[in-house]
Amino acid sequence: MGIREELQRLDEELDMEMARAETLANIEALRVRMLGKKGQLTALLRSMGALSAEERPKMGQLINERRERFTQLLDERQQKLQQLEQEMRLKREQIDVTEPRALPRLGNLHPNTLVLNQVVDCLTGLGFEVVEGPEVELDLFNFELMNLPKDHPARDAQDTFYIDDNVVLRTHTSPVQARIMTTRKPPIRIISPGRVYRADEVDATHSPVFHQIEGLVIDEGVSMADLKGTLDAFAKRLYGEDIQVRFRPSFFPFTEPSAEVDLTCVNCRGKGCRVCKNTGWIEVLGCGMVNPKVLDMCGIDSKKYSGFAFGVGLERITMLRYGIQDMRLMYEGDLRFLKQFR
Ligand code: DAH
């Protein structure tokens, strides 16, 4: 085949291949095939040695024209494809800032907090105010003014974390009673939730750090009926309208008389089960009428005023509320546990 025919064939081949080329890689391959060291046009150039001296420059010129034409066509297509690729990438990477996204997973409240919120909601609804007291507390408030005398077993160093002789980590929230009574005048209606400390070993029902909610009402003519009505509303709000409240006589130095409060078993609703040891009742808190001695020590006239107080373990009522069997779960921070409460 003569060089002219060969060139024409190459023209046709290029046109055909160009029509099919869709990617930069196709163009690059075509460039190598035509113009590369071992390319077809290059081979043609080499074959010119066989031509006569007269024909050589003419053919040389024709081949060079092809080289220029091919290069130009390939360059143009390459540019076009690069531009196209860029446009597609921009389109692909375009961000629609108005597109609504899946909501991030918000955390949820600790079961203790959920129950505390309910208690606070219920009792503020009855006119109580929420107050707080310090966790590092004076012996004076924690024990003395609560009528726990110097030789009381609760003051034993084995039960209580002492900072020094006069300062302890509070063993209950009751000292907030004394702080309020020594600084305010009746009527007083407060609840005080917070952390308390005892030198206890950790087990399914004990922890050296836990939470209580204290309640205190002082006014003229406050009676045990007010106490019972308050606790009744509290129990029904937390566990349901069918729950009853039962008082059993008990003893606390800061109340007189004192009572232990049972609720209808929230597990079997009173029928009798493992949780209530078949009694139909579960013990939940301590309470009583504020001991007149405490009132007087705190500077409130016990002849004019009377009051009631109660103290409840937050973990206890939370575990009952959700059927949690082991207190340790509440402090471990395991998300598989914590995520279950809404
Ligand atoms: N402070 C008591 C305790 O930690 C609980 C308690 C009982 C508080 C009777 C009270 C109350 O206010 O009246 O065991």
Residue nearest to atom 13 of ligand 1 (CA): 287
Residue nearest to atom 7 of ligand 1 (CA): 286
Model confidence pLDDT, tens digit, residues 26-82: 999 999 999 899 988 888 888 888 888 888 888 888 888 989 999 999 999 999 999
pLDDT band at 1 (very low <50, low <70, confident <90, very high): low
**Structural domain contains residue 71:** yes
Which amino acid belongs to residue 333?
G
Q: What is the CATH classification number for the domain harbouring 122?
A: 3.30.930.10
For the beta carbon of residue 109, count every other beta carbon within 10 angstroms: 13
Q: Of the residues 49, 64, 93, which one is the last residue of a structural domain?
A: 93
Ligand 1: distance of its center to the CA of 136 in Å? 18
Residue pointed to by tokens 């937050």: 314
- Percentage with pLDDT > 90 across the chain: 74
Q: Do 228 and 181 share a structural domain?
A: yes
Q: Do 294 and 240 share a structural domain?
A: yes
**Structural domain contains residue 101:** no
The domain of 7 spans 3-93
Q: Do 116 and 82 share a structural domain?
A: no
Q: Return the ligand 1 atom nearest residue 214 CA.
A: 12
> Average per-residue pLDDT in the chain?
93
| Buried b / exposed e along 60-81 (16+ C-beta atoms within 10 A) | eeebeebbeebeebbeebbeeb
Q: Answer yes or no: are the C-beta atoms of 196 and 211 closer than 8 Å.
A: yes
pLDDT band at 127 (very low <50, low <70, confident <90, very high): very high
Q: Do 150 and 15 share a structural domain?
A: no
Q: Return the ligand 1 atom nearest residue 254 CA.
A: 13
pLDDT higher than threshold 90 for residue 157: no
Q: Return the ligand 1 atom nearest residue 196 CA.
A: 4
Residue pointed to by tokens 């001991």: 291
Residue nearest to atom 5 of ligand 1 (CA): 311
Segment 268-278 shows an average pLDDT of 93
| Buried b / exposed e along 296-306 (16+ C-beta atoms within 10 A) | ebbebebeebb
Ligand 1: distance of its center to the CA of 298 in Å? 17
pTM: 0.72
Segment 268-272 shows an average pLDDT of 94
Q: Do 122 and 88 share a structural domain?
A: no
Model confidence pLDDT, tens digit, residues 159-182: 889 999 999 999 999 999 999 999
Q: Do 129 and 88 share a structural domain?
A: no
Alpha helices in 94-208 (DSSP H): 111-125, 139-142, 175-181
Q: Give the binding-site residues of ligand 1, using a 6 Å CB cut-off.
A: 172, 174, 214, 252, 255, 286-288, 309-311
Ligand 1: distance of its center to the CA of 271 in Å? 28
Q: Return the ligand 1 atom nearest residue 255 CA.
A: 13
Q: Do 243 and 146 share a structural domain?
A: yes
When divided into structural domains, the chain yields a total of 2
Contacts for 236 with CB less than 8 Å, ≥ 6 apart: 243
**Structural domain contains residue 104:** no
> How many CA atoms within 13 Å lie on the side-chain side of 151?
0
H helix or E strand, kind and range, residue 306: strand 306-313
**Structural domain contains residue 163:** yes
Q: Of the residues 61, 93, 125, which one is the last residue of a structural domain?
A: 93
Residue pointed to by tokens 């005048």: 185
Model confidence pLDDT, tens digit, residues 323-333: 999 999 999 99
Q: Return the ligand 1 atom nearest residue 146 CA.
A: 1
**Structural domain contains residue 106:** no
Residue nearest to atom 12 of ligand 1 (CA): 310
Q: Of the residues 34, 63, 93, which one is the last residue of a structural domain?
A: 93
Pocket test for ligand 1, best of 123, 145, 174 (most atoms within 8 A of CB): 174
Q: Return the ligand 1 atom nearest residue 290 CA.
A: 13
Nearest CA-CA partner of 187 in 137, 143, 148, 226: 226
Q: Do 83 and 128 share a structural domain?
A: no
Model confidence pLDDT, tens digit, residues 275-293: 899 999 999 999 999 999 9
How far is Cα 158 from Cα 165, in angstroms, rounded to an integer? Answer: 14
Q: Answer yes or no: are the C-beta atoms of 270 and 239 closer than 8 Å.
A: no
